[in-house]
Each structure stands twice: as structure tokens, then as C-alpha cells.
């Protein structure tokens, strides 16, 4: 059977969701249904999906989630980051008002759950993320259940992070969870958004999330994507960003969970002075498959992009990194830097890394590189010379490698939690527990 | 404490140490001096356990054990600590992790339980203050972005916390301005104790004004060619090494 054969099955699962919403929304959803029916789920012959086979996922049966918020108190509390202020909690993708906190918003900031406020998002939905980006994007547009709309008026500065907590519960029938997150930052607006995906250790649902971000002139958004779902979960995500003049977008993408996890990031630098920073870490254990694909389009002169992704792969896990930077014709005086480093902790772990730089302008400053390497022998010696055994010294240096990414996280509560989570997921022989 | 007997070491087929003898007793402070290329760094490297050196003869006994048979970490746990000439920068490893891991490794070796967090922090803060270092330093990566003086102070801080039996200081004074040298020397002097030995390998007499040794050795062409008390340093300062080398040749 080819992947196309599963298309009808998927459409029948999401059927009840498709008719949800007012007429403009129903039309939009219907268009996406048709797109999905034509496109299907991405097959491995597509260059972008060469290393990530979704056939096992395509075959799985999922149901739409039902409201389980009242049974999830403990799980919400346990997985929560210690962030004060604005918080929207979703249990299996459905908004839970009881767990959420929306009072701390400054004037000019609109932060709302999407399902009940879809009309607010009429001009945003599907504007940055093309429905045909992949079959998953089309499926999300056709049948998203809930999500968030963040609309910041010009000059609005939200000091506290806007925390979006997604909790996945253990369920007899695995759920198809499809959140949609829309962020629109007006001229000189500033905010930090934390998308945090976690859940029960045995949760085996499928999260298919799409985030759209639109930055007007001078806007600044810092975006955290912290993916800590269970190792039985499927997680497919795409983040689409478009940037106007002098805007700045910073992404911290931490990928720790999932049986199969795929994150796409697509950034359009559309006007002079726009800058994007992509910071990423993936850590695989067992048989996890973690795929990160980023695409930065320099569509205008004087735009900057910086990307640093690091991967640590243990056991039989597999990592994929594809970082594509395209400098379009006339996009002169741009600067683009990209690096990807990987550590393989076992002989059976694997990484497929491909930095791609396509340049159609002649006055640019670009660099890219990829390393799959060993630990620094001098540093190893220095640690052992202080009495640390070799395993712990290697452990500390492995954590240090991850810390090059983690240390860019500016929110202390997030930084410490992620460092601890990473230390906890490194091989036990490193003996880092109690130290970090 | 430490006995080096007729030590011969080659690097890539070239003999660097040519039958070196040295005895360090508990409580003594020694300085090993000598011209460039005499083998000072090689001696430090061998004692520390660096790879890439071929030991062709002789022995090193540390506290009754064959030092050359001990792993790097085992040497440290047994109380032998090297202060590096060029302390390594370790981006991403916080000083506090290194200090805690090192102290606990030693405690475990001695059959002691891991140190409690509050007790550890108290100890570390006290030693930081002694070395005139800021508390924020604990959460910085080991030596990353440190000035030369800060790196050397960090080496001594580690010694103050780990309390070695034998401290080997390799060019601990190089690159230090006078203020930093005073702080570093103050740290080293505070470690002086009847049960502890200190060996300084240095190029300059200046250090010996601040840390006054009991014994001075001149290392030249792979051997100790002269030993004496602190007055030897003054003679070397006035007259250089040539006369010692000539005297030894006769």
C-alpha cells in the first residue's frame, strides 16, 4: 500500500472537525481537505522526507480527543515549568480554562484560545503557513481543534513569557492532537512565547502542530519550542515565520521526546534589517527518530541569519538535520551563518546531516559547517586530572556540548529545567545525577 | 612523598629526560628551575600522566606506589594535583560542577559520603573569598574567557578545595601581574603544611620571592645538575644558568 491509500482513513477520522466554525472557516478547512486529499502524507521519495519514513505513523489509527482536563490536574502540575504570568494549558490539544491564567496581560496584547475566538484570527490563519507545505500542514489546517491566537498591537511589550503548555495523556485510543498557534506582532511589539509539549510517560498520541508567526517592522519575538513528549508519542511540527523590516525572531528548539519527532522551521526574511537566530538541540535515546529541517529564505538585502544546531545521539537513535539557507537574487549584503555539530554516543546511533547553502546574489557573507565529533581530549585530561573518572568526565563534556545551546536560553526557570532534563537523559554511566 | 629515580623519557625518539633523580619529602617546598628546553615541562607532564611520552627507564614512586602504573584520576584521588601552565578552557562545564565532582571523587576514594550541598557551598564561598574571586564565577564555564591571572587563581582555588598531599605547580607564575602573583602566592603559602609537599616548576626567580622554597634544583639537558637552598636562586638571578652548566660539565 502506498501512503495515498491512507488518506481517506485520515480524512474520516477528522471528518467531525472539518465542519467546525463559521462559514469562512469551513471554506478554509474544506480547501485544506482537498489539498490533503491530493497531496497525502509525505512519502520518502520526497527529498525533504528522505530520512523520515512516516509509513508506520500513517497506518496507525487515531481518534479525536475528548475533553480530559478534569483528570489531568496532577499531570499538568507535574510537567509544568515554573513560569509566572500568562499561561494557556491544553490537555490533548483542548483548552483547559481551569488550568490557565490570562489576567496578567498588558493593554494591547490579545492572547486567546483559538477555538472560541476563531474570528479574531480570520486574517491570520493560513497566511504564513502554506497549506501545501506538507500533508501534515494541510491536515492541521483542515482539522485543527484548538490552539492560541496571540495578537500584539503596535508597541505592545509583554514582559512575562506567554506560556503555552500542551499536556498529552495516556489514552486507550491514541488521539490525534492538532493545535494551531498564531502569533502576530505589530510594529515594535515584543514578546516571548514558550510552546511546551510534555505529558504522561506512556502517552502514545500524535501531536501535529502548526505555528504561524508574523512580525511587523521592528517587532521582536523570542520563541521557545520545548518538546518533551513521551518516547511513544508521534510529534510533527512546523513553525512558519515571516519577517518585516528590522524585526528579530529568535528560536530555541529543544527536541528531547517522541518516538518519531519532526520539526520544520521556515523563515522568510522579507525586508532589510530582518534577523533570525535559530538555536537547536536534539537528544535521542533508544530508538527515537528526531528530525529537524530548517529553511531560511533571504528575500531582501541586509538580512541576517544565524543558526546553531547540536545533536546527541545514543543507543540506536537516529537524528536528521537539514539546514537550508537560500539567498535570493538581489539579496545583497546579507550575512548567514550556520553550524551543526553532533555527538554519537553509541556505534549504532546515526546522524544524517546536510547543511545546504544556495546563493543567487554575489555580495554576501556566508558560512556553514557540520561536524560529527569526538570530545576534546585536553578537556578530558583536565577533568580526569582532578579525580573525575573517565565516564563522568565524558558525561560532563557531553552535557557541556548541549549547554552551548542551552546556555542561550534566557529564562532561568526554562534553562535549569532543560539542563536537568538533558542531564537526566544522558547515559546512566555518566553518573551526572546529583551533580547537575 | 615522591621519589624520582634515574628517569629517562623520550618524545618521538628523542631523549628529553636523561636519568633524572629527585626526592621530595613531606612538608617540603621545592623549586625546579632551568633554561628553556631543559625538560621541565616533560617532567610535569610525566608526573601528571599525559600521553605521548615514552618512558625508557627509571621509576617514580609516590607514597610508596608506582606512580607510572596509576591512572590519571587515581593520582588525583591519592592527593597528587597538577596546577597547569596553560589551564584548559572547558566551555559548558560550570566551575561548580567540576569542583563538586572532583571533591566527591576524592571523598568516595577515602570512603567518605558525598558532601552535603550547604556544606559544599560554604566551603567554596570561603575559598573563593580567600582567592578574591567573585561568587558568580561558580556558574561560569571552567576557564572560559578568563584572563591569564584568573585561570591561575582558579588552579589554586581547586587546590584549596581538594587539599592535595603533593601539589605540582607548572609555571604557575607565568603571565601574572604583580597583584595576581601576590594572590596566587598567598593561596599557595596557605597550603604549606608539615604533611604536604609543593613542587614549583618555574622559569623566573620572581616567584621564589613570594613562595620561598626549602630546596632549589637546576634542571638542564634532562638532568638535575645542581641542588641547593634558597640562596641558589639569588646566585641564578645574578649570574644566569651558564656557570652551573659549566660547573656540572667539569
pLDDT of A1 higher than 80: no
Q: What is the mean pLDDT of residues B129-140?
A: 91
| Overall average pLDDT of the B111-140 stretch | 93
pLDDT over 80 at A49, yes or no: yes
CA distance B216 to B208: 10
CA distances from A345 to A275, A391, A393, B153 (A): 34, 12, 14, 34
Is residue B242 predicted with pLDDT exceeding 90?
no
Instruction: Compare A18 and B3 and report the one with higher pLDDT.
Output: B3
pLDDT tens for each residue of A19-47:
877 889 999 999 999 999 999 999 988 99
Q: How far is CA B242 from CA A424, B161, B216, in A?
A: 59, 40, 16
**Mean pLDDT, chain A, whole residue set:** 94
Whether residues B81 and A385 touch (CB distance < 8 A) is answered with yes
CA distance B93 to chain A (A): 5
**What is the reported pLDDT for B174?**
85
| A160 assigned to some structural domain | yes
Last residue of one domain, picked from the residues A271, A302, A323 = A271
B135-169 confidence digits (pLDDT tens): 999 989 999 999 888 999 999 999 999 999 999 99
Q: Is pLDDT above 80 for A434?
A: no
Assess B151–A contact: CB distance below 8 Å, yes or no: no
As a whole number of angstroms, the longest Cα–Cα distance in chain B is: 61
CB contact under 8 A, A384 and B101: no
In a shared domain, residues A263 and A396: no
Task: Tell me the average pLDDT across A353-368.
Answer: 91
Of A219, A239, A271, the one marking the end of a domain is A271
Per the structure block, which three cell numbers stand in for A190?
515584543
Alpha carbons within 13 angstroms on the beta-carbon side of residue B5 total 9
Q: Quote the domain boundaries for residue A203.
A: 3-271
Nearest beta carbon to residue A388 from set B48, B82, B102: B102
So what's the pLDDT on residue A252? 98
The domains of chain B, with CATH numbers, are: 2-249 (3.40.50.300)
Q: What is the mean pLDDT of residues B130-138?
A: 91
Helices (H) and strands (E) in chain B, counts: 9, 12
Per-residue confidence band for A155, with pLDDT thresholds at 50, 70 and 90:
very high
Q: How far apart are CA A55 and CA A99, in angstroms?
A: 36
pLDDT per residue over A291-331, tens digit each? Answer: 999 999 999 999 999 999 999 999 999 999 999 999 999 99
| Mean pLDDT of the region B106-132 | 93
pLDDT in tens, B172-204: 988 889 999 999 999 999 999 999 999 999 888
On the question of pLDDT at B245 being above 90, the answer is: no
Is A372 inside any structural domain?
no
Res A93 pLDDT > 70: yes
Q: Is residue A119 part of a domain?
A: yes
Q: What is the CA radius of gyration of chain B?
A: 18
Could you give the 3-state DSSP secondary structure of residue B228? Answer: strand
pLDDT for B15-25, tens place per residue?
999 999 999 99
Averaged pLDDT, B213-222: 93
Q: Do A400 and B72 touch (CB under 8 A)?
A: no
Residue labelled with grid coordinates 621541565: B40
Q: Please state, in angstroms and rounded to a whole number, the distance separating the CA atoms of residues A2 and B55.
A: 66
Interface check A382 vs B, CB under 8 A: yes
Answer whether residue B127 shows pLDDT above 80: yes
Identify the pLDDT of residue A2.
79
Residues A255 and A387 reside in one and the same domain: no
* Residue A15 and residue A149 share a domain: yes
Question: Which pLDDT belongs to residue B94?
Answer: 92
Mutate to test the interface with A, among B72, B109, B138, B140 (most CBs of A within 10 A): B72
For B76, list phi and psi in degrees, rounded to 5: -65, -45
The tens digit of pLDDT for each residue in A384-427 reads 999 999 999 999 999 999 999 999 999 999 999 999 999 999 99
Residue finishing a domain among A208, A237, A271: A271
Q: What is the mean pLDDT of residues A180-205?
A: 97
Q: In the prediction, which pLDDT does A436 show?
A: 81
Contact A400 B84 (CB under 8 A): no
pLDDT at A242: 98
Does A350 fall in a domain?
no
Q: List the single best residue of B51, B91, B136 to mutate versus A (max A Cβ within 10 A).
A: B91
Q: Are B205 and B186 in contact (CB under 8 A)?
A: no
Residue with cell 626567580: B205
A173 touches chain B (CB under 8 A): no
Of residues A172 and A60, more confidently modeled: A60
Concatenating the DSSP letter of every residue in A1-20 gives --GGGGHHHHHHHHHHHHT-
Cα(B177)–Cα(B169) distance, integer angstroms: 17
DSSP for residue B212: -
User: How wide is the angle at C-alpha B160 spanned by C-alphas B155 and B163, nearest 5°?
Assistant: 110
pLDDT over threshold 70, residue B132: yes
Hunting for cell 498564531 — which residue is that?
A: A182
**Residue B230's pLDDT is what?**
87
Which chain B residues in 56-95 lie under 8 Å from chain A, judged by CB atoms?
71-73, 75-77, 81-82, 84, 87-88, 90-93
Question: What Rg, from alpha-carbon coordinates, does chain A have?
Answer: 21
For an interface test with B, give the residue of A377, A380, A385, A392 to mutate (most B CBs within 10 A): A385
**Cβ burial A307-317 (10 Å sphere, 16+ → b, else e):** bbbbbbbbebb
Instruction: Give yes or no for a contact between B171 and B85, defined as CB atoms under 8 angstroms apart.
Output: yes
| pLDDT single digits (tens) B14-58 | 999 999 999 999 999 999 998 888 899 899 999 999 989 999 999
Cell of A181: 498557534
Check B102 against A379: CB less than 8 A apart: no
Instruction: Answer yes or no: is pLDDT of A121 > 90.
Output: yes
A388 within domain boundaries? yes
* A338 located within any domain: no
ipTM for the predicted complex: 0.94
Would residue A315 count as lying in a domain? Answer: no
For residue B239, the model assigns a pLDDT of: 86
| Nearest CB partner across the interface for B92, out of A378, A386, A399 | A399
CB atoms within 10 A of CB B133: 19
Distance CA B46, CA B228 (A): 24
Q: Is residue A263 part of a domain?
A: yes
How many domains does the structure of chain A reveal?
2
Report the pLDDT value the prediction gives residue B250, as an integer from 0 to 100: 79
Shared domain for A70 and A197, answered yes or no, is yes
Amino acid at each position: 500500500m502506498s501512503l495515498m491509500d491512507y488518506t481517506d482513513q485520515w480524512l474520516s477520522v477528522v471528518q467531525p472537525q472539518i465542519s467546525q466554525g463559521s462559514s469562512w472557516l469551513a471554506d478554509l478547512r474544506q480547501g485544506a481537505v482537498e489539498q490533503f486529499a491530493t497531496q497525502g502524507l509525505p512519502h520518502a521519495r520526497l527529498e525533504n522526507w528522505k530520512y523520515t519514513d512516516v509509513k508506520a505513523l500513517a497506518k496507525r489509527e487515531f481518534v479525536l480527543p475528548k475533553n480530559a482536563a478534569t483528570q489531568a490536574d496532577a499531570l499538568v502540575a507535574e510537567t509544568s515549568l515554573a513560569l509566572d504570568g500568562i499561561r494557556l494549558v491544553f490537555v490533548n490539544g483542548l483548552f483547559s480554562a481551569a488550568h490557565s491564567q490570562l489576567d496578567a496581560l498588558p493593554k494591547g496584547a490579545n492572547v486567546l484560545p483559538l477555538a472560541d475566538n476563531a474570528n479574531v484570527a480570520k486574517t491570520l490563519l493560513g497566511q504564513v503557513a502554506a497549506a501545501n507545505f506538507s500533508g501534515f500542514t494541510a491536515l492541521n489546517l483542515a482539522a485543527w481543534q484548538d490552539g492560541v491566537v496571540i495578537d500584539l498591537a503596535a508597541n505592545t511589550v509583554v514582559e512575562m513569557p506567554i506560556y503555552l503548555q500542551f499536556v498529552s495523556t495516556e489514552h486507550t485510543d491514541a488521539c490525534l492532537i492538532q493545535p494551531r498557534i498564531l502569533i502576530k506582532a505589530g510594529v515594535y511589539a515584543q514578546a516571548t512565547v514558550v510552546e511546551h509539549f510534555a505529558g504522561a510517560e506512556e502517552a502514545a498520541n500524535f501531536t501535529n502542530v502548526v505555528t504561524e508567526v508574523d512580525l511587523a517592522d521592528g517587532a521582536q519575538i523570542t520563541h521557545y519550542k520545548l518538546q518533551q513528549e513521551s518516547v511513544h508519542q508521534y510529534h510533527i511540527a512546523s513553525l512558519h515565520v515571516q519577517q518585516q523590516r528590522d524585526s528579530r525572531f529568535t528560536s530555541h528548539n529543544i527536541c528531547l521526546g517522541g518516538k518519531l519527532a519532526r520539526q520544520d522551521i521556515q523563515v522568510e526574511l522579507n525586508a532589510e534589517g530582518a534577523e533570525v537566530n535559530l538555536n537547536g538541540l536534539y537528544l535521542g535515546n533508544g530508538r527515537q527518530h528526531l528530525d529537524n529541517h530548517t529553511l531560511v529564505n533571504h528575500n531582501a538585502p541586509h538580512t541576517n541569519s544565524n543558526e546553531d544546531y547540536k545533536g546527541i545521539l545514543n543507543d540506536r537513535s537516529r537524528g536528521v538535520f537539514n539546514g537550508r539557507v537560500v539567498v535570493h537574487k538581489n539579496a545583497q549584503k546579507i550575512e548567514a551563518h550556520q553550524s551543526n555539530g553532533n555527538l554519537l554516543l553509541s556505534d549504532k546511533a546515526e546522524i544524517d546531516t546536510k547543511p545546504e547553502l544556495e546563493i543567487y546574489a554575489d555580495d554576501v557573507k556566508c558560512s556553514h559547517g557540520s561536524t560529527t565529533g569526538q570530545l576534546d581530549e585536553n578537556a578530558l585530561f583536565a577533568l580526569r586530572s582532578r579525580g573525575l573518572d573517565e565516564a563522568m568526565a565524558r558525561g560532563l563534556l557531553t552535557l557541556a556540548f548541549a549547554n552551548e545551546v542551552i546556555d542561550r536560553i534566557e529564562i532561568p526557570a526554562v534553562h535549569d529545567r532543560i539542563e536537568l532534563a538533558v542531564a537526566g537523559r544522558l547515559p546512566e554511566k555518566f553518573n551526572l545525577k546529583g551533580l547537575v | 612523598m615522591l621519589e624520582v629515580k634515574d628517569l629517562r623519557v623520550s618524545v618521538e625518539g628523542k631523549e628529553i629526560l636523561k636519568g633524572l633523580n629527585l626526592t621530595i619529602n613531606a612538608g617540603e617546598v621545592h623549586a625546579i628551575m632551568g633554561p628553556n628546553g631543559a625538560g621541565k615541562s616533560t617532567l610535569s607532564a610525566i608526573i601528571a600522566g599525559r600521553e605521548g611520552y615514552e618512558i625508557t627507564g627509571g621509576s617514580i614512586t609516590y607514597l610508596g606506589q608506582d606512580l607510572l602504573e596509576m591512572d590519571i584520576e587515581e593520582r588525583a584521588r591519592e592527593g597528587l594535583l597538577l596546577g597547569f601552565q596553560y589551564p584548559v578552557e572547558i566551555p559548558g562545564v560550570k566551575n561548580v560542577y567540576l569542583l563538586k565532582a572532583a571533591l566527591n571523587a576524592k571523598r568516595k576514594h577515602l570512603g567518605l559520603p558525598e558532601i552535603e550541598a550547604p556544606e559544599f557551598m560554604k566551603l567554596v564561598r570561603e575559598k573563593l573569598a580567600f582567592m578574591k574571586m567573585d561568587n558568580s564565577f561558580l556558574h561560569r564555564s571552567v576557564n572560559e574567557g578568563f584572563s591569564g591571572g584568573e585561570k591561575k587563581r582558579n588552579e589554586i582555588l581547586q587546590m584549596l578545595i581538594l587539599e592535595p598531599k603533593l601539589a605540582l605547580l607548572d609555571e604557575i607564575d607565568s603571565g601574572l601581574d604583580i597583584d595576581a602573583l601576590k594572590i596566587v602566592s598567598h593561596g599557595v603559602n596557605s597550603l604549606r603544611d608539615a604533611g604536604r609537599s609543593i613542587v614549583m616548576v618555574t622559569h623566573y626567580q620572581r616567584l621564589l620571592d613570594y613562595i620561598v622554597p626549602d630546596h632549589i634544583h637546576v634542571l638542564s639537558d634532562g638532568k638535575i645538575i645542581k641542588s641547593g637552598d634558597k640562596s641558589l636562586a639569588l646566585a641564578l638571578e645574578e649570574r644566569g644558568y651558564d656557570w652551573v652548566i659549566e660547573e656540572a660539565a667539569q
